[in-house]
Structure 1
Amino acid sequence: DVDKAVKAARKAFERGSPWRTMDASERGRLLNKLADLVERDRLILATMEAINGGKLFSTAYLMDLGACTKTLRYCAGWADKIHGRTVPMDGNFFTFTRHEPIGVCGQIIPWNFPLVMFIWKIAPALCCGNTVVVKPAEQTPLTALYMGSLIKE
Structure 2
Amino acid sequence: MADKKIVTDNRKARHDYAIEETYEAGLVLKGTEVKSLRAGKANLRDSFARIDKGEAWLHNMHISHYEQGNINNHDPTRPRKLLLNKAEINKLIGKIQQKGLTLVPLKVYFKYGRAKLELALARGKKLHDKRRDIADRDAKREIAKAFREKQKMV
The two structures share one fold, judged by TM-score above 0.5: no
Q: Which has the higher contact order (CA 8 A, sep 6+)?
A: 2
Which structure is larger by alpha-carbon Rg, 1 or 2? 2
Structure having the higher helix fraction is: 1
Q: TM-score normalised to the size of structure 1?
A: 0.22
Q: TM-score normalised to the size of structure 2?
A: 0.22
Structure having the higher strand fraction is: 2
